[in-house]
């Protein structure tokens, strides 16, 4: 195939590519115009719903969790699960709360120091709760001690020790290490080149390399193969679009 044939093939491929691009762009514009009303009508409420869900999740995390002392039995003398086992099974964190549910007027809850907890001393409580459905919020980490305010119940085992886990802070990243500057590299040795040879007129000239030439036959074959490949690709695209 000569150069004139290659030029005609490239011209044909260019025309097909141009019409294909126009057809694809017009089809994409029509699809975008059809999709705009659906996005404008449904996208905005969807974004509002996502924002509302995120806000609810944040509020739930900051509010903490409510633990009911004694589980479903409440604050009683002999629950189905012992208070020590119940406290070990749960994990308490800062901002969580513990709820004491009992019959008002027949019992109460006393927050006491550790030594009064072990000796069941009810004479100097740190806090007294007697509402029948009392909530105590953990504002710091560490142990908390609760006993029954009714006489004799603490000695029989109605007391509870709760350990609130400490808040873990992420450690700050270490400062970046200063890397020493690399030593300057020595310049490469100069290559020994032969001195230029003077010509007959006395001027100094250097021999220049002869330029490489691409054979005309291989160049024409490469152009022909590339044109055929582009034409086949454009034909397949036209079939998919139509």
Where are the chain's structural domains? 66-164
Q: Give dist(CA 218, CA 226) in Å, integer.
A: 12
Asked if residue 56 has pLDDT above 80, the reply is no
More confident residue, 54 or 98: 98
Q: Residue 42: which residues within 8 A CB-CB, separation 6 or more?
A: none
Tens-place pLDDT, residues 57-113: 555 555 689 999 999 999 999 999 999 999 999 999 999 999 999 999 999 999 999
Are 144 and 138 in contact, with CB atoms under 8 Å apart? yes
* Structure token digits, residue 145: 């001690």
Asked if residue 36 has pLDDT above 50, the reply is no
Asked if residue 157 has pLDDT above 90, the reply is yes
Q: Give dist(CA 99, CA 125) in Å, integer.
A: 18
Fold (topology level) of 66-164: Immunoglobulin-like (2.60.40)
Angle of the 3-63 helix axis to the 216-241 helix axis, nearest 10? 50
Q: Give dist(CA 71, CA 101) in Å, integer.
A: 10
SS3 47: helix
Mean pLDDT of 117-132: 96
Q: pTM, whole model, 2 decimals?
A: 0.48
Cα distances (angstroms) measured from residue 35 to each of 31, 50, 82, 159 = 6, 21, 62, 65
Q: Residue 104: which residues within 8 A CB-CB, separation 6 or more?
A: 130, 131, 132, 133
Which sign, positive or negative, has the C-alpha torsion 16, 19, 22, 23? negative
Asked if residue 49 has pLDDT above 80, the reply is no
């Amino acid at each position: 195939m000569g150069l004139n044939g290659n030029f005609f093939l490239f011209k044909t491929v260019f025309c097909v590519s141009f019409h294909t691009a126009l057809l694809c762009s017009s089809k994409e514009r029509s699809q975008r115009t059809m999709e705009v009303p659906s996005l404008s009508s449904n996208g905005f409420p969807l974004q509002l719903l996502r924002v509302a869900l995120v806000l609810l999740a944040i509020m739930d995390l900051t509010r903490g969790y409510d633990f009911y002392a004694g589980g479903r039995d409440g604050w009683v003398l002999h629950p189905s699960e012992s208070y020590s086992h119940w406290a070990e099974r749960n994990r308490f964190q800062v901002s969580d709360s513990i709820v004491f549910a009992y019959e008002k007027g027949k019992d109460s809850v006393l927050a006491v120091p550790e030594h009064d907890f072990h000796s069941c001393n009810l004479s100097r409580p740190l806090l007294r709760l007697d509402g029948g459905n009392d909530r105590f919020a953990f504002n710091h980490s560490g142990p908390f001690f609760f006993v029954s305010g009714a006489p004799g119940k603490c000695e029989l085992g109605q007391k509870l020790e709760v350990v609130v886990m400490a808040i873990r802070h992420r450690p700050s990243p270490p400062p970046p290490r200063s890397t020493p500057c690399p030593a300057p590299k020595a310049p490469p040795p100069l290559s020994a080149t032969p001195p230029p040879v003077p010509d007959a007129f006395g001027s100094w000239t250097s021999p220049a390399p002869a330029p490489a030439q691409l054979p005309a036959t291989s160049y024409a074959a490469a152009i022909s193969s590339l044109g055929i490949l582009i034409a086949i690709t454009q034909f397949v695209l036209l079939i998919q679009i139509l």
